[in-house]
A = this chain, B = another copy of it.
Amino acid sequence: MPLDGRIETALQRALALVQTSSAPPLLGAALPYAIFPGGARIRPTILLSVAGACGDDRPELADAAAAALELIHCASLVHDDLPAFDDADTRRGKASLHRAYGEPIAVLSGDSMIVLAFEVLAEAGAVHPGRALRLIRALAQRTGAAQGICAGQAWESEPVVDLAAYHNAKTGALFIAATQMGAISAGHDPEPWQDLGTLIGSAFQVADDLKDALCSADVTGKPAGQDVALARPSAVRSLGVDGAWRHLEDILSGAIASIPSCPGEARLAKMVQAYARRIMDIPTAAVRG
Q: Contacts A119-B141, A145-B116; is A26 near B104 (CB within 8 Å)?
A: no
User: CB-CB < 8 A to A115: which residues of B?
Assistant: 114, 140, 143-145, 148, 150
Contact of A24 among B18, B110, B158 (CB under 8 A): B158
- How many monomers of this protein are in the complex? 2
User: CB-CB < 8 A to A162: which residues of B?
Assistant: 22, 24
Q: Is A82 an interface residue when CB atoms closer than 8 A count as contact?
A: yes
Q: Contacts A27-B150, A111-B114, A122-B133; is A22 near B165 (CB within 8 Å)?
A: yes
Q: Is A21 an interface residue when CB atoms closer than 8 A count as contact?
A: yes
Which chain A residues in 131-189 approach chain B with CB under 8 Å?
Answer: 132-134, 136-137, 140-141, 143-148, 150-151, 153-158, 162, 165
User: CB-CB < 8 A to A31: which residues of B?
Assistant: 145
Contact flags A101-118 to B (C-beta < 8 A → 1, else 0): 011110111111011101
Q: Is A211 an interface residue when CB atoms closer than 8 A count as contact?
A: no
Q: Is the CB of B17 within 8 A of A153?
A: no
Minimum C-beta distance from A172 to chain B (A) = 13
Minimum C-beta distance from A170 to chain B (A) = 11
Q: Is the CB of A84 within 8 A of B104?
A: yes
Chain A residues with CB under 8 Å of chain B are 17-19, 21-28, 31, 75, 79, 82, 84-85, 102-105, 107-112, 114-116, 118-119, 121-123, 125-126, 129-130, 132-134, 136-137, 140-141, 143-148, 150-151, 153-158, 162, 165
